[in-house]
Amino acid sequence: MRVLVIGAGAIGGYYGARLVRAGGDVAFLVRAGRAEQLRRTGLQVVSPHGDFAVQPKIMLASDLKQAFDVVLVGVKSYSLDDAMVQFAPAVGSGTMILPILNGLKHIDALTVRFGTERVLGGLANVSAGLDADGRVVQLMANQTIVFGEIDGSLSERALALETLLHVPGIDVRASEAIMQDMWEKFVQLSTLAGITCLMRASIGNILAVPNGEQSIFRLFGECCAVATASGFEPRAPFIEFDRKLFTTMDSPLKASMLRDIERGSITESEHILGDMANRARSLGIDTPLLDLACAHLAAYEVGRRRAAG
């Protein structure tokens, strides 16, 4: 299968580099500046599993002339509209579009643009970022992709894609309940992003203060209530996993959204926290802590834009 990875940032760069290293037929759709950097330095990955570099096949939007079998979309949500315009020539009648963005809103955008038959559900569990030299830095050992047909079927194409992605450095699973999986990731991320951004602190530091743990689980409860009312009640193993995740003393865990704030960058707050809050309002669910986190991020974005002129 021919794979087109949209972008070569932290997420697309990590998984795409793993596929290239395993001998996959992979190209990266990037902008001119990133293309020049990659031609000069290669695509470098710094990982707990061992550092490596590959020389990627690079394409600009103007280079796309034919359809790919798989389009792996790992851009930030605020770049999705532009990305869809750019990669549209790569989407044919048999193309699978696998988005591994955070949140849920992008599924609607992709299906409206390309049709439900081409879009899979998917999520990535990898903690990574780009450093000042453009290297992909994997911060923790997790490196999972979960994906599946939105209707819950286990299709032949999904099994073929699972085989394609089953390479060293990617833990992959084709799911028969991908929307449930995505909702649980949505709850987890909304809780983590909301509380660490609101407190401007890691989970470990939040747990170290009075009412810290209670605040985490108050927000977690609000997000779980939205998922349940939407028809995706979080399952017991997920609840147990997140309770351990959010009660690990001295944990350095913080959301990538907080790292964005710390370096003065744009955030995905509206796509994640804003979307969760909008769903809560449409369902008549009261989410005061989530609403406060949304207001906090919105105020940050106003300040960031004003500072940028």
Give the H/E segment covering residue 288. helix 288-308
Residue 309 has a pLDDT of: 84
Q: What is the mean pLDDT of the chain?
A: 96
For residues 113 and 86, the answer to whether their CB atoms sit within 8 Å is no
Number of domains present in the structure of the chain: 2
The answer to whether residues 121 and 200 belong to one domain is no
Q: Of 175, 196, 229, which residue is a domain's last?
A: 175
Q: Are residues 62 and 147 in the same domain?
A: yes
55/148 same-domain check: yes
Where would I find the H helices in 177-264?
178-199, 203-207, 212-229, 236-245, 256-262
pLDDT digit string, tens, across residues 205-237: 999 999 999 999 999 999 999 999 999 999 999
Residues 63 and 134 occupy one common structural domain: yes
- CATH classification at residue 92: 3.40.50.720
Report yes or no: 203 and 171 within 8 Å, Cβ to Cβ: no
Same domain for 70 and 163? Answer: yes
Q: Is the pLDDT of residue 128 over 90?
A: no
Each residue of 248-290: pLDDT tens digit? 999 999 999 999 999 999 999 999 999 999 999 999 999 999 9
Which band of pLDDT confidence, cut at 50, 70 and 90, is reported for residue 129?
A: confident
Q: Cα–Cα distance between 81 and 94 in angstroms, integer?
A: 22
**Predicted pLDDT of residue 141:** 85
Choice among 105, 185, 244, 254 that is catalytic: 185
pLDDT at site 142: 87
Residues 165 and 85: their CA atoms lie apart, in Å, by 26
* Helix (H), strand (E), coil (C) string for 182-194: HHHHHHHHHHHHH
Q: How far apart are CA 173 and CA 196, in angstroms?
A: 29
pLDDT value for 140: 83
Cα radius of gyration rounded to whole Å, the chain: 19
Residue with tokens 């902008």: 31
136-148 and 43-46 beta bridge pairing: parallel
pTM of the model: 0.93
Same-domain check for residues 71 and 139: yes
139 pLDDT band (50/70/90 cuts)? confident
Site of tokens 């190209």: 27
Is residue 57 over pLDDT 90?
A: yes
b/e map 163-177, b = 16+ CB within 10 Å: ebbebebbebebbee
Terminal-residue alpha carbon distance, the chain: 45
In this prediction, residues 192-201 reach a mean pLDDT of 98
Print the domain residue range for 229. 181-308
Active site residue 185: yes
Same-domain pairing of 108 and 170: yes
Q: Name the one residue in this structure whose structure tokens are 């699978």.
A: 96
Same-domain check for residues 202 and 164 = no
Section 148-169 average pLDDT: 96
Show which of 112, 143, 175 is a domain's final residue: 175
Whether 243 has a pLDDT exceeding 90, the answer reads: yes
Which of 124, 158, 175 is the endpoint of a domain? 175
Residue 40, strand partner residues: none
CATH number at 239 reads 1.10.1040.10
DSSP result, 122-191: EEEEEEEEE-TTS-EEEEEEEEEEEEE-TTS---HHHHHHHHHH-STT-EEEE-S-HHHHHHHHHHHHHH
3-49: pLDDT as tens digits: 999 999 999 999 999 999 999 999 999 999 999 999 999 999 999 99
* 156 & 197 share domain: no
Indicate whether 230 and 253 sit together in one domain. Answer: yes
50 with 149, same domain?
Answer: yes
67 and 152 share a domain? yes
